[in-house]
Amino acid sequence: MTKTPYERVYYTYVLQAERRDELRDHLSREGIETKVYYPRTLPLQPAFSYLGHREGDFPNAEAICKRSIALPLYAEMPDAHVEQVIEQVLNFYAKVKAHV
C-alpha cells in the first residue's frame, strides 16, 4: 500500500447521551457549543412527508435522535479545550448521579 501525506481529519464527535438536552444546557453555560444534527428521523423530515410516516413508526431511530449530541471537535482543537469538554461532561453526570 502506498503511503500518502494525508491524515484523517475528524470534524464531528457524535454520541448518545442520557439527559441530552440538560447536558447541552450545562455545556452551553460553560461556553461549550454542541449540535444536534438530526433532531428527528429522516422519514419525519418535511422532505419525506409524502411517505406518510408518523412518530412511532421507527422507535429505535427516534430514541437515538433524542439522545444524539455532537460535541465540539476540529483539527486544530487545543488539548486544553478537549480536556475542558471532557471535564464538563463528567461534571454534569457526577451532579446527575449525586441527585439520584
Report yes or no on 1 lying in a domain.
no
Report yes or no on 5 lying in a domain.
no
Give the residue carrying C-alpha cell 478537549: 82
d(CA 60, CA 56): 9
Report yes or no on 2 lying in a domain.
no
Contacts of 59 (CB under 8 A, 6+ apart): none
* Count of domains observed in the chain: 1
Report yes or no on 82 lying in a domain.
yes
User: Has residue 1 got a pLDDT over 80?
Assistant: no
Per residue in 5-44, pLDDT (tens digit) is 777 777 789 999 999 999 999 999 999 999 999 899 999 9
User: Has residue 74 got a pLDDT over 80?
Assistant: yes
**DSSP summary character for residue 45:** S
User: Has residue 70 got a pLDDT over 90?
Assistant: yes
- Please count the other Cβ atoms lying within 10 Å of the Cβ belonging to residue 59: 10
Query: Dihedrals φ, ψ of 32, to 5°?
Result: -110, 115
Report yes or no on 72 lying in a domain.
yes
Report yes or no on 27 lying in a domain.
yes
Residue 89: domain span: 13-98
Per residue in 33-48, pLDDT (tens digit) is 999 998 999 999 999 9
CATH number of the domain to which 50 belongs: 3.90.1150.10
User: Has residue 53 got a pLDDT over 70?
Assistant: yes
User: What is the pTM assigned to this prediction?
Assistant: 0.83
Residue 64 grid coordinates: 437515538
Report yes or no on 55 lying in a domain.
yes
User: Has residue 100 got a pLDDT over 80?
Assistant: no
**According to the 3-state scheme, what is the secondary structure of 15-31?**
EECCCHHHHHHHHHHCC
Helices vs strands, H then E, count in the chain: 3, 2
Report yes or no on 84 lying in a domain.
yes
